[in-house]
Chain A
Amino acid sequence: MSASPRVAANNAPARKKQLALVIDLNVCVGCHACVTSCKEWNTSGSAGPLVDQNAYGANPTGTFFNRVQTFEVGTFPNTQTVHFPKSCLHCEDPPCVPVCPTGASYKRPEDGIVLVDYDKCIGCKYCAWACPYGAREIDEDRKVMTKCTLCVDRIYDKNLAPEDRKPACVKACPTNARLFGDIHDPSSEAAVAIRERGGYALMPEWETQPANHYLPRKITEIIAQVERES
């Protein structure tokens, strides 16, 4: 998949800021650090607390803004195992926003972050239906919709040291597989990575223009090939 045209060229006309994550599937080892760091930050931050149900019982379940999944490709021994983190993609044309009857689901004009206003939300879940990515989770305790906030309460927090003003998951990630930045700023680390390393969007068929991008797993070698060569 090629780079999304929206972020691509250096000479694109100046656009408004669009903050996003770029996830590098080449180095993600599936450690779930981003998953629990996210939960931990947000549960005590402005998005929280994030509920846990049956915390010590059967079927423990709760709200997380970020999940790391695992996929396999190919057949043994030519198998690739791909760890795949997924949180809200902060779509540039987010279908979850216009459907919201209350305006609780909104996209911030200043930085493109898609948020839920917990004080307006009526918990109708319609926005979650309208998100093709399964990026929203109802908080079964507070009965409001929740989702990744791109750590909006960290990245602008003047009480934090400048190097800490990054999403919790980005700071946690031991492999630095999560890049954060303004993808409309062609010189940002995120935009450069998308441009130069084939960053792609999920489900391009719905034209949601996800701001988050993924850097494809580079498959350098497979066994069949090695054996053919030697």
Chain B
Amino acid sequence: MSLGKLLSSAPLHDPLADPAPGTNNEVKTTTCYMCACRCGIRVHLRDGQVRYIDGNPEHPINRGVICAKGASGIMKQHSPARLTQPLLRKQGSERGAGEFEPISWERALDILTERLAKLRATDPKKFALFTGRDQMQALTGLFARQFGTPNYAAHGGFCSVNMAAGMIYSIGGSFWEFGGPDLDRAKLFIMIGTAEDHHSNPLKIALSKFKRDGGRFISINPVRTGYSAIADEWIPVRPGSDGALFMALIHELIAADLIDREFLARYTNAPNLVVLDGGERDGLFAFDPEAGALPDGRNPHNKLVWDRKTNAAQRAQTDAARDVDPVLEGRYTLADGTPVATAFELLKDRVKECTPEWAEQITGISAQRIRKLAREIGETAMHQAFELPIAWTDVWGTQHSSVTGRPVAFHAMRGLAAHSNGFQTVRALSVLMSLIGTIDRPGGFRHKAPYPRHIVPNYRTIHSPEQVQPNTPLPAGPLGFPAHPDELAIHDDGTPIRIDKAFSWEHPLSAHGMMHNVITNAVRGDPYRIDTLLIFMANMAWNSTMNTMQVRAMMNERDEAGEYKLPFLVVCDAFQSEMVAFADLVLPDTTYLERHDALSMLDRPISEFDGPCDSVRVPVVPPTGDTRAFQEVLVDLAARLKLPAFITPEGTPKYRDYPDFIVNFEAKPGIGFLMGWRGADGSKSLKGEPNPKQWEMYAKNNCVFHHTMPESMQYMRNWNRDYLEFSLEMGFRQKSDAIQLAIYSDALQSFRLAARGKGTKRLPPAELRERIDTYFDPLPFWYAPLEDAVSDTTSFPLHAITQRPMAMYHSWDSQNAWLRQIHSHNYLFVNPGTAQAAGVADGGWMWVESQWGSVRCMARYSEAVDPGTVWTWNAIGKGKSAWQLDAAADESRKGFLLNHLISEDLPFAGRRISNSDPITGQAGWYDVRVRIRPAAPDEPAESSPQIDAVPAAPGVFGRVAEAVMFFARGKK
């Protein structure tokens, strides 16, 4: 450097210079998996190393934006907790101690093959496969079905099955990945119980655009953070009480006649006549035997309405030529003397007592405010309606020249779902939305393919133990949607077939299984013992389990013979989570940047309102160490186990590997995991023969395939003939008939009838009859969460809930050097009034206690929380030294898990029953009741409970990672 330059006032450091000249820069596209939202990303590599990840502007989901997690993917790739080789628990060491010896993949696969082959040949249900926050249920489900075990489910049961099932049983689709609010055209948006959601970036994009365009945004939530922060109006509600609010809104809307009567009469079962004779078919719909003699919800098109013109019962919707004018209200008598009433009439009766004053007592929202809200919803829907000039034809052949927009959109998530009254609450919301006619209409709720599905979807799981046979695939999928007691997975004596008791009388409509009960049930041998539990991508020893400490202890429980009650535990994870320490065998997975993944239409795709959409991940960096993608392992294992779908007639592996499987597997001829670039040369879309170059074509096209349907197929899809035919053709449905909205659920009624000893030979066990009778109400209603009945709510006056922080994904981001700087530990947020009354100081140590457990944590005052509620960020607290954090890390020292306060079961009829929604088995995370008190001054300033530290597993990067962290050092 010349002296002149050295002394010159011009900058020495050229901020515009290439920071790494001479390096090889590349950009590859793939799909993010820092959360389940599945945004398109561009991965910028410098000499093959990931240096920068941004949103892919060409991607329909995120259109170029990214979130805090997505932008921190680099640090996940460099996590010190990375598992790099298969591990076997050390002989003689306890589960949970985390002592392992490394083994080869060949050995790992041999162990698995031998064990599983034996189980498959004897009693396949002794193998259980449960998967957490994954996105490959089409493959894992297929594996389980081919194996022949019913004991399969993903995380939906502890996640949001209430939201999915509550809406699918009502409108044929749901929020979550299957549908959402049309904020482009809504004028009023009401968001209920949502903190972050699976539709993370798209919702943010839509929300800000909606607000900027002048839309009005109301948030109903006990807490005001995140999205609620920017709401024009925040309505704090008591946890678990929203159902009452919805019932009161329905009451008000009907009273003010701010409902879409035409829509109700034509597109819902509101005018259908319900039998009220107290007989075998009491409460089911009156039907026309000529149109198919089925007594319940399984045949929707034989129902009767009361025709205004003929003043007689007539068959409901048929072809366009028939001129039936159904009345919505009234009680009638059929020709055979059967007393009937319209479903709508029964709904009116139901809400008669549900006044705003009634709801005020339950929700804490004043009656005036409820009235105002109802008026605003009704008036916006009815008086600000608009027509879009989009011609479409309904399923009955009537041509329409436009679609009607009813610009009130709702969105709700786990604030409704994660309560034991969530199913009926979500039903109430669905009915509310149906009343104002906002289903698949502009400005309201919109479906996403493959939804809408039939109500009830035509997916049935097994219903008899005979269907589970050695060395035989299941004749049905392990999961499904029961529409009738005959479709429950139970033995003749009414006991559950499944280890998690899903689809049993305890939780009949548990469409997503009940993962949260697997370990407890298996250890208790209730309903039976299993041999091998394979857990993929779920941290069941920590944050996705209730009653965490006991569940950890249970995994170590032994029987009289000294054998583990849960004999073999296999964990597939990419990182050293709390769960890994409990594994007998650890299968180290790749990361999302290292593997192929298909986000398939056969699973939960990323569809948009305007058409089906699927996407893939392609590896952008090579696998680390000796890791293998779980998909590869499954395809390999399936062939080793000779599962029919995975082998040739000669018994050799049918698929080379997972990419080969994805390309060549066909669920039906022409329909595979991926819709894009099908046909031998990739020229076909949606359907077509396998294309050997399909992956390359996805890779070249931003890893996403988006089929935009003509506008005429984008709305009113429950009744849109062109769309329904398309969905049949694509295999989304098995029929192309109309999907009438279920204001009144005859499917639920058929369970209630069984509880009353009617309509079926399959009757619930005596102790469950009253429970089924109560909760399987065909009309929505509000009841207090089950925990309230077994809690002394004067001793435990507060509700305790969690929220997802936007910059953290469950448990798995605390290993991320950037994200953990944002949230390295959590506080319990308490309204200052509540805290002061209890003597708890802002920032002070305190105890939160439920009747099930207690936690010591730190308090943070907040005026943005209902005084009867306390909350914290979910899953920030960690087990000591898990994730290769220091034993002194904030996460374990100061962070805490609310799960310790929650019980996985509740006392019931002299025994225990899952702490879940009695209908769907959805885990009741947000029902727990607590009290608070200050910690004593002499107590340690440390969260409680604490667990023992575990050593770094062999091959785990551990501390070394800090030395190899390529950013941190080197450039001075």
Contacts and interface: CB of A to CB of B under 8 A. Distances in A.
A221 B225 CA distance: 16
Contact of A27 (B230, B806, B965): B230
B904 interface: no
B224 A79 contact: yes
Nearest to B967: A49
B363 to A, nearest CB: 13
A62 B821 contact: yes
Contacts of A76: 236, 831, 833, 863-867
A208 B537 CA distance: 51
B806 A32 contact: yes
Contacts of B961: 56
Nearest to A142: B972
B578 interface: no
A40 interface: yes
Interface string B940-972: 000000000000000000010110010111111
A172 interface: yes
Contacts, number: 238
B13 A118 contact: yes
A163 B226 CA distance: 28
B885 interface: yes
A80 B236 CA distance: 12
A129 B263 CA distance: 66
A57 interface: yes
B54 A29 contact: no
Contacts of A119: 11-13
A27 B12 contact: no
B68 interface: yes
Contacts of B372: 226, 229-230
Interface string A116-153: 01111000000000000000000001100000010011
B887 to A, nearest CB: 9
Q: Which of B208, B235, B372, B965 has the most CB of A within 10 A?
A: B208
Contacts of B209: 176
Contact of B890 (A47, A55, A60): A60
A122 to B, nearest CB: 13
Interface in B1-30: 9, 11-17, 19-20
B709 interface: no
B962 A55 contact: yes
Instruction: Name the interface size band of chain B.
Output: 35 or more
B80 interface: yes
Contact of B15 (A56, A120, A152): A152
A26 B863 contact: no
Contacts of B67: 31-33, 172, 174
Contact of B806 (A30, A106, A142, A230): A30
Given A36-B819, A79-B864, A220-B232, A60 B824 contact: yes
A33 B65 contact: yes
Contacts of A33: 65-68, 70-71
Contacts of B74: 40
A98 interface: no
Interface of A: 26-33, 35-37, 39-41, 43-52, 54-62, 64, 70, 72, 74-77, 79-83, 103, 106, 115, 117-120, 141-142, 149, 152-153, 156-157, 163, 168, 171-177, 220-221, 223, 226-227, 229-230
Interface of B: 9, 11-17, 19-20, 46, 51-55, 57, 62, 64-72, 74, 80, 200-201, 204-205, 207-209, 211-212, 216, 224-230, 232-236, 366, 368-369, 371-372, 806-807, 815, 817-822, 824, 831, 833, 862-867, 884-886, 888-890, 893, 959, 961-962, 965, 967-972
9 contacts: A40-B52, A46-B17, A49-B971, A59-B824, A76-B863, A76-B867, A172-B67, A220-B232, A226-B368
Given A115-B11, A163-B57, A226-B372, 12 more contacts: A31-B806, A37-B71, A47-B15, A55-B962, A57-B885, A57-B889, A76-B865, A156-B16, A174-B200, A221-B233, A226-B369, A230-B372
